[in-house]
Chains A and B, each alone.
Chain A
Amino acid sequence: MKRMRRPFLSAALIAASLFLAVPAGAVPPGVGECMDCHGDKTIEMSLPGGQTVSLYIDLQAYRSSVHGGGSCVTCHADASAPHGKLKKVSCDKCHGDAGKSYAGSAHGKLRAKGITDVPGCDGCHGKHDIRRPKDPVARTFRLNIAATCLRCHKDRALEPRYQHLPDQKLLAAYEQSVHGMASKKSGLLGSAVCVDCHGNHAILPGDQPRSATHRQKIPTMCGKCHPGILDQYERSVHGKGMRAGIAESPVCTDCHGEHTIAKIGDPSSSVSPRNIPKTCSGCHDEEGISTRYALPKKRFSSYMDSFHGIAVEYGMTKAANCSSCHGVHDILPSSDPASTVHKANIPKTCGKCHPNAGPNFAKGAVHVEVSPKKAMGVFAVRLFYTIFITALVILFVLHVGLELYGRWDRKRSGAPGGKERKP
């Protein structure tokens, strides 16, 4: 490095002496010259609409920026002193790769169509005050990224103008999510911010196959930070299904949500003990999915009618929910001998909460689907009672009716009204 610097320095000296030799008019202005005008806080430009734009440049901010050691003309190559409207600055000259990625992104494509509401480079990085992403005051510092993105994505004024803009409320929900709270409240650098999932320059909507947030990529994406969970998921029936290309097999976000991800202990979480039956039954109580993959039916209603279901519904969250028996990321079908709900493992699984539930207890279905095929005993007893109660009620009503009829009939025929014997 040291060896390199010396020839560079001498080249710069030669160049400087050359500049001194040429006539004053052709010399590009130095920072000092630019600041003669742009250091004035009142300098403005009027726009055709009558608005004015400040042309003041904060030299201090520029000097402490990543580009602060350079000169104005590096970016504003066509600037002279004084000058009229300059050409748009292009960062591509030095940042070609980022420029290329950006051009393919949702932002870049719209920008190419002339829509200036979408951010260009400066929208996220700033202009004269650009800092390195590692710098805590940078707009692109990990803890500042959410605020940078939400500046537009939480802006209600933008919502009606762009149909495909994701729901602002949902994006704002990130701030309350476990990831948002970890970075915003606790200042953890390791927590996921927008770019960790969505990427940065090449950002695309999740429905496009090249998007970082496309369904197929989600488990791997979350696995970047949660490798242990990813490992379990890959071995589960859901993970295997997903890898086999079954699009309906759930990925992380189907259960946990996206921007709303919350801790299990948070009552609003889609995977909290109280909400998990609803979350699982989003697929498992869905006629089409159950039929297509030959899944057992009535899992939700049979659970909700059980003591476990009722208890959980009314807030006794220590009662078993879906994942208490079936597992969480490592769910396997009951036909798999490694499954927690495999016939042979049921006593052990029940035994987690009910130490007395041995192999004898495990006989019969856990989800009681009341039908002659699935639970004959329960079905028969229920049918018996239904018929018996109905018959009894009908007989009561008939008996009462008959008694009242007899009374009325005797009264009509001139006999005493009650049970009195005829004289």
Chain B
Amino acid sequence: MSRADLAAGKVIRMSLPFRVQHLLLAILLTVLAVTGFALMYHENSLAQWLIRMEGGVHNRGIVHRVAAVLLMANLVHHVFYMLFSREGKPELRQLFITKRDIDDFLQSLRYNLGTATEYPPFGRYGYKEKFQYWGAAAGIVLISLTGLMLWGEEFSMRLFPKFVLDLAIIIHGYQGLLAFLVLFLWHLYNVHLHPSVFPMNPSWITGKVSVEWLREEHPLEYEKLKEEGVL
């Protein structure tokens, strides 16, 4: 963290490797959603328009698969990064869901209902971020596995009865829908529309948030940085 940043009241929240991973994830998921839903809702006129835009059903498939390969590569890279890198290891520890997160969640409800006097103080990641992270991780793993099964259909046919592939199609599609809704309703609300960040939490581009915001939204992290003498 540079002196200039601190002077301007900014603190780094997303390092460059994470920003790159996040940006790739955002672009690839958008491409996958647009090409995927066009197929899933193929009887809808908007989907039919999309398929035409994507160069027909065959080219749509190619675009979808290219994006999928890049997404899986991104995922594998992320797993290694979180397990073995100097930056990733402590991040992963802080992302584990503990009993405290459940308590925090309940306390936030009570606070907003007016029966608790204090909003739960979060560390580096609050329950919202953790839920988002693990939800997305599980979703991407599931959707990748089913996607690979369907991609290598000649291979899958040797291993599985047809109804397993029927299930894979359903899971792949609905898991995609689930991921899309979580990202659109939950994530975009939290990083764009939530009163504390409106109109946008800039950290996905600049990597930085204001010290003031950190103290407000992640007080335990703020205090930790203070103790470590970073701030």
Contacts and interface: CB of A to CB of B under 8 A. Distances in A.
A420 B155 CA distance: 58
B166 A377 contact: yes
Given A314-B57, A360-B161, A418-B196, A382 B170 contact: yes
Given A362-B162, A402-B109, A406-B112, A381 B157 contact: no
B49 interface: no
Contacts of B113: 402, 406
B117 interface: yes
A161 interface: no
Contacts of B160: 360-361
A355 B162 contact: no
A378 interface: yes
A25 B68 CA distance: 105
A314 B56 contact: yes
A402 B112 contact: yes
Contact of A364 (B154, B158, B161, B196): B161
Contacts of A316: 56-58
Contacts of A350: 157
Contact of A396 (B157, B174, B186): B186
B162 A419 contact: no
B114 interface: yes
Chain A: interface residue count, which band? Answer: 35 or more
Contacts of A397: 185
Nearest to B180: A389
25 contacts: A314-B42, A314-B58, A355-B154, A361-B157, A361-B158, A364-B161, A364-B162, A365-B163, A366-B162, A368-B166, A377-B166, A378-B166, A378-B167, A381-B167, A385-B171, A386-B174, A389-B174, A396-B185, A400-B189, A406-B112, A407-B195, A410-B114, A417-B195, A418-B196, A422-B117
B111 interface: yes
B181 interface: yes
Given A381-B174, A389-B174, A354 B166 contact: no
Contacts of A356: 154-155, 157-158
Nearest to A350: B157
Nearest to B52: A314
A403 B119 contact: no
B108 to A, nearest CB: 8
B34 to A, nearest CB: 16
A55 B58 CA distance: 69
A417 B216 CA distance: 12
A303 to B, nearest CB: 13
A118 interface: no
Interface in A381-423: 381-382, 385-386, 388-389, 392-393, 396-397, 400, 402-407, 409-410, 417-422
